[in-house]
């Protein structure tokens, strides 16, 4: 009886949650697959981001809504450096030419099929963060998010649980933000590129084999005062990721090329 009551109360809490917290984390259409050093950059030019403040808002003490941005993913089968570049485009419903992108890179993935997808208002999500926070997402440190139980029959709690709810952890690796503290705020430690021009890029070195999540959102902290929802403007972005050689590897390749050139020159003189 207690279990049935708990399920009813849980579902009621989810249905009563603000509309922005009902969405679920997905990588649909945003999976770059396995990145290989030496291969061309993988690009995604079709996505839009919800709100112009989602990343910046998750740098403060009350955390952020994980759905005010977009999640992308990629996999490394060998250690590599990865270069990530984001540039705004004219897509979306927001004012063109105003979006300032920022992103954070994490080791780990959110729950995926056949499990229920993660969301900020899941009971485990709420229980795992301080009271009064806006959501589970944190842009500058580790964080985690929960999902709901996966039922034997979708949507039917009485059919039994196929997979228990669980927290998915994300390990923070670094970030990059377009502009300066004038747009992304005064939280210490934010790496701004100094140019609020709609373009930002960063290279993350020494990444181990594994699965990675990239959260992309807006770097305009003050915009949350005017973009209040429940319908948020959207902004188009071009996203590219590429596995690149580490600097030491480049040095060896250049040195090898120089030695090969010298050998050819010596051979030509004979």
The whole-angstrom separation of Cα 139 and Cα 132 is 17
Mean pLDDT, residues 132-146 taken together: 98
pLDDT at 33 over 70: yes
Q: Which of 34, 44, 48, 46 shows the shortest CA–CA distance to 232?
A: 48
Write down the pLDDT at residue 19.
Answer: 36
Mean pLDDT, residues 180-202 taken together: 97
Residues 69, 54: contact at Cβ < 8 Å? yes
Write down the pLDDT at residue 23.
Answer: 72
Q: What is the pTM of this model?
A: 0.85
Question: What average pLDDT does the chain have?
Answer: 88
Check the CA dihedral 91-92-96-101 and report its sign. negative
Q: Which residues contact 166 (CB under 8 A, 6 or more apart)?
A: 111, 115, 124, 146, 147
| pLDDT band per the 50, 70, 90 thresholds, residue 8 | very low
Write down the pLDDT at residue 126.
Answer: 98
By mean pLDDT, which of 3-7, 78-82, 122-126 is the weakest?
3-7
pLDDT at 83 over 80: yes
| pLDDT band per the 50, 70, 90 thresholds, residue 248 | confident
Write down the pLDDT at residue 134.
Answer: 97
Residues 101, 175: contact at Cβ < 8 Å? no
| φ/ψ (deg, to 5) at 182 | -60, -25
Q: Which residues contact 237 (CB under 8 A, 6 or more apart)?
A: 47, 48, 49, 70, 86, 87, 88, 89, 99, 101, 216
pLDDT at 214 over 80: yes
Q: Tokens representing 198?
A: 């709609």
pLDDT higher at 79 or 269: 79
The whole-angstrom separation of Cα 124 and Cα 145 is 7
Write down the pLDDT at residue 247.
Answer: 87
Domains in the chain, CATH or no CATH each: 2-269 (2.60.120.1220)
Mean pLDDT, residues 77-84 taken together: 97
Write down the pLDDT at residue 207.
Answer: 98
Q: How big is the chain, counted in residues?
A: 270
């Amino acid at each position: 009886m207690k279990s049935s009551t708990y399920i009813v109360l849980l579902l009621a809490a989810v249905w009563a949650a603000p509309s922005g917290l009902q969405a679920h984390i997905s990588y649909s259409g945003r999976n770059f697959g396995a990145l290989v050093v030496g291969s061309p950059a993988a690009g995604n030019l079709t996505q839009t981001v919800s709100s112009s403040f989602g990343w910046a808002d998750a740098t403060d003490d009350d955390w952020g809504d994980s759905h005010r941005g977009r999640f992308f993913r990629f996999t490394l089968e060998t250690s590599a450096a990865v270069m990530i570049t984001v540039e705004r485009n004219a897509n979306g419903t927001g004012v063109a030419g105003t979006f300032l992108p920022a992103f954070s890179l994490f080791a780990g993935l959110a729950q995926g099929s056949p499990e229920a997808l993660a969301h900020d208002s899941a009971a485990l999500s709420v229980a795992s963060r301080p009271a009064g926070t806006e959501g589970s997402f944190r842009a500058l440190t580790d964080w985690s998010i929960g999902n709901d139980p996966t039922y034997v029959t979708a949507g039917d709690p009485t059919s039994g649980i196929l997979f228990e709810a669980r927290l998915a952890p994300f390990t923070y690796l670094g970030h990059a933000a377009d502009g300066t503290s004038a747009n992304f705020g005064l939280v210490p430690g934010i790496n701004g590129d100094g140019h609020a021009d709609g373009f930002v890029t960063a290279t993350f070195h020494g990444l181990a084999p594994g699965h990675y999540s990239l959260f992309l959102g807006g770097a305009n902290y003050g915009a949350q005062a005017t973009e209040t929802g429940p319908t948020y403007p959207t902004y188009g972005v071009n996203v590219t990721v590429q596995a690149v050689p580490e600097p030491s590897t480049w040095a060896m390749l250049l040195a090898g090329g120089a030695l090969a050139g010298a050998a050819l020159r010596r051979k030509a003189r004979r």
